[in-house]
Amino acid sequence: MNTFTLKNNVLHAENVALTQITENFGSPCYVYSKAALSQAFERFSAGFKDANHLVCFAVKSNPSLAILNLFAKLGAGFDIVSGGELARVIAAGGDPKKVVFSGVGKTAEEMRAALEAGIFCFNVESASELIRLNDVAAYMGKIAPVSLRVNPNVDAKTHPYISTGLKNNKFGVAYEDALDIYLQAAEMSNIAIHGVDCHIGSQITELSPFLDAFDRVLALVDALAENNIQIQHIDLGGGIGICYSDETPPEFTAYAKAMREKLGNRDVKLVFEPGRALVGNAGVLLTKVEYLKPTESKNFAIVDAAMNDLMRPALYDAYHDIQAVAPRNEAAVNYEIVGPVCESGDFLGHDRNLALQEGDLLAIMSAGAYGMSMSSNYNTRPRAAEVMVDGDQCHLIKKRELIADLFANESTVPNS
């Protein structure tokens, strides 16, 4: 169900006109649909409803407390990659016992915080990390539950920056080394082996890479059993893509059916880490056209959002659909949609045919994932406000930053 629709020639989020949101909260502004978020989580979970499973939302995709709180109420666990994300989950009312801790560079301090909180599992990504975790747990008098993140060397057929399962990626341990590292872990006094973890990338639009990776994981699980190491859960990561333009990612039901068929009668819990799939199409970025600038070679629409607000186009050359919030019945012009940041790479969209006038409002679609979470203060620009729509109500879930906030923690060096 698309919760961003035209009504009376104005784009709405559920039952709230997007023009009303910028009138109340200004622009740029991120807008999320509570219904879209809830429906995505429920649709993903439905395929596993009678199976032993845990859906852990990938916090990195959108760490808004309001979104984390909503998913926590729906029963979600959380996939974190830092101590800061753990603190966010707890502040949002999430259950630490449903948290998996991924990431290649966990510090001893982060390990201590996670052990103290009693998380579900550490997804360990190197032999060195395993040794450190054992030492930290021993010092605290605790047992650390672990999965080893195994790199299956499977091509996810996605952008190289978001591919994580090839042998030249920094993530996980080599598949060929995994059994030996598990055997080492079994000898460690403060490590408890609970699972096997695998994550091959993001924005994956085919089932075959998931199935290929799962085959390799299951072969490892069976090899571990032959060595008297019984696995309690298999973490298959996330990565299901969304439709930004004309992609056709797998339906959640097809994904679930395929995973369960592969699992067979093995008695283990399935853990998943969806991020983009739950939030990507549940959010938009609103931005106002400041200037129209025709030139000899191109027509530029200069808007008040920029690469610091939405990094994906500049970073990945990623495509986001761009729609006029109140479409004009006029001849369209081909525009480059660009921001005010002092970089030639500051663009939000190339070659967009739109009928525009200065002051018009645009919606950058599919901006719910890796939008606000990757934003910055480059050019001393305050981060945007965030709003969640619930039916005919809109709630400010994060205030727009003030310029003074950006240097409140700085100081000059006094004269000597």
Task: Determine how many CB atoms are found less than 10 A away from the CB of residue 130.
Answer: 22
276 is in an annotated binding site: yes
Q: How would DSSP label each residue in 190-238?
A: TEEEEEEE---BSSB--SHHHHHHHHHHHHHHHHHHHTT---SEEE---
Report the DSSP pairing between strands 269-272 and 53-58.
parallel
In degrees and rounded to multiples of 5, residue 351 shows phi and psi of: 50, 55
Burial bucket for residue 125 (CB in 10 Å: 0-12, 13-18, 19+)? buried
For residue 178, which amino acid is it? A
312 is in an annotated binding site: yes
Report the DSSP pairing between strands 191-197 and 144-151.
parallel
291 is in an annotated binding site: no
14 is in an annotated binding site: no
370 is in an annotated binding site: yes
Integer Cα distance of 169 and 153 in angstroms: 9
Cβ(362)–Cβ(285) below 8 Å: no
Cβ(59)–Cβ(381) below 8 Å: no
Is 198 labeled as catalytic in the residue annotation?
no
275 is in an annotated binding site: yes
| Four-residue CA torsion sign, 105, 107, 113, 116 | positive
43 is in an annotated binding site: no
273 is in an annotated binding site: yes
For residue 380, which amino acid is it? T
Q: How far is CA 278 from CA 44, 146, 242, in A?
A: 8, 26, 9
Cβ(299)–Cβ(337) below 8 Å: no
Residue tagged active-site, from 29, 198, 342, 394: 342
DSSP summary character for residue 160: G
C-alpha dihedral, 335 to 340 to 345 to 347, nearest 10°: -40
End-to-end CA distance of the chain: 64
103 is in an annotated binding site: no
Give the residue numbers annotated as catalytic, written as ranges. Answer: 342
Annotated binding site: 239, 273-276, 312, 316, 343, 370
Annotated binding site for substrate: 276, 312, 316, 343, 370
Annotated binding site for pyridoxal 5'-phosphate: 239, 273-276, 370
